[in-house]
Each structure stands twice: as C-alpha cells, then as structure tokens.
Structure 1
Amino acid sequence: MAKMTMTTYLDNYLNKTIPDYEIALDWDTKNHTIEIIFRLYAENKEQIEISDVDGVASDEIIEFEDGILLYDPKKSQFDAEDYLATIPYEGKKGLPENQLRGIVDYLKEVLDDGQSDLLDFLTSDAEVFELTWNTEKYQSYIKGDANSYIPYPSY
C-alpha cells in the first residue's frame, strides 16, 4: 500500500466528508503548493445577468469557484488575495493530521453556508457574493493530537 501523503489524505477525506460538492486538488510540484478547489452552483431562475470578477456574464446557471492553498513558506510564491485561505505546511514534514481534518471539516461548513448564501444572493439586491473563511472558527475545528504528521508528497 502506498504511503499516505497530504494529497492522498485530503482526497480520501474530502470525498468521504464533502461528497455533495465539486472539489478538486491541484498539486503544483514546482511551486510546492496544494490547492483545494471548489465550486458552488445555483440556478438563476430570474435570469438576471450577473458578471463574475473577470466580467463574464451569465444569466442561467451561476458558478462560483474559490480555493484554499496549502503552501511551503520557504519555497512557494503566490498572491494570497487569489484564495479564500492560505495555510502553511512544514516542508517535507507536511501538516498534522488533525489540522488537515480541521480544514476539511470547516470547509464543509463554509460550503454549506456558501451554497445557501449564493441562493439568497440571487434573490437579493446585494452586488457581491463571496465566501468567508474565519481563522478562529477554523482553529476550533482542529482537535486532538498535533504530533501525527501527514507528509508532503514525494515526486
């Protein structure tokens, strides 16, 4: 059996914990990052034209995409503004299992709330929809032993 790594752990736990959402992992070996990418969808029943941040308009199905970036503070380069959250890991050592579990468990709440908020957005006068990552709340999802690390994957 292959050794458990951050990517295999996340893939397994995401599929088990959050099966109702479209979620993908993107491992960038050159930048030493792992991105958890997720999408929310909502039917725009009123067919109001809505533009995304790139100016692309839609009036039927609204698709919202965002991501969480796990990065090596010594090697990765990125713009934090491009992500819902950025979380450092400890090089080859990776992240404690309880922290990876906390990321996924809290992400489920963020997506559940976000799906509801997106549907509300379509029937409101709000001009902007965005998800919120509350670091303190995320920290509350990290429970148990922090000594069991899941390593960063090898090439």
Structure 2
Amino acid sequence: MSSGMPPEYGLAPPLHEVPRSPKWPWVLLLIVALLAVGSVAFGPRVVEAVQRQLSEESAEDPVMSVRAQPSPATAPGVARKTVVFEVTGTGEAFNITATVGSTVRNPMNVPLPWTQTIEVPAGEPSASVMLVVVAGPDGAEVHGKYTIDGKTVREGKASGPYGVLTITDS
C-alpha cells in the first residue's frame, strides 16, 4: 500500500487502554461516611438508651455490696480502719465506684457532693482501695479523694463530658 493509494478502510488499530483508577478507596470512603452520619444521627439515642437502662437498674438497687465470707478478724471488738470517699463538684456524677477489698459501692447519677464511709478490719491483709468517678455529660470538673483513718491518702480530678477520674492505692 505504498503505491500512493489511501489505506484501506476497516477497523482502526487498537488504541492503548487508559488505566482505570481503583474503586476500593471510594468504597472505603463511602463506608466511613455512612458510619460517621450514622454515629451523628443515632449516637445520642444509643447513649440515652444506655443511660436510661443504667438509671433503671440503679433505681432498683442503688447500692450494690459484695462481701467475702466473714473471717475471724471481722468479729465484734476487732480494730477497724475507716475509709472515707469524698467526691465534690457541680451537678451530678454519672457513676461512682468506691471499693475497699471486697466491699463495693456503685451508685449512678449521683448528686454532688457525695461521701461514703466503709469500715474494714484493721488487720485485713492488702485490702485494696479504689475510687472511680465518671463525670456527668455537662463536662463539669469533679474532685475525688479518699482518707484512711482521717489522713488523705490519694486525690485527683477530672473534667469534660464523661471524664474519668481513677484513684487507686497502688
């Protein structure tokens, strides 16, 4: 066909293929966007449902106490040590958990200030002490401390919506 004649008509030679961009980033972006929208739309409802359930449970049993089997050291007349938990702040604490050994106090939606006294046998070996406070949804600052026989052992503070304060004896 080099005889000066135009090329024959027919199919055009194949063009090189244009590379396609991958689809997985778009699918991932769509999933993340749907999760974000769902969290914003339904998150408050889930939180309210959980709070309602917890407040119903705490209304039925506002103070839960778990005690180990009595030991000879718990007999009347045995020296005791007094642990006092104090939580101050404004508004309400969403949850407070005060633990001494096997004794647990766990009230919900607690108006502040709050104080709880727990007595344990003075000779009880390694009775661990712990205070966990979850601030309310208003984000107010909460202060917590515990004393043993009148002496402040540990203290701390937390703030922000549902901020958590944890104080332990270790």
Bin for the TM-score computed over the shorter chain:
under 0.3
More helix by share: 1
Rg larger for: 2
Q: TM-score scaled to structure 2, two decimals?
A: 0.24
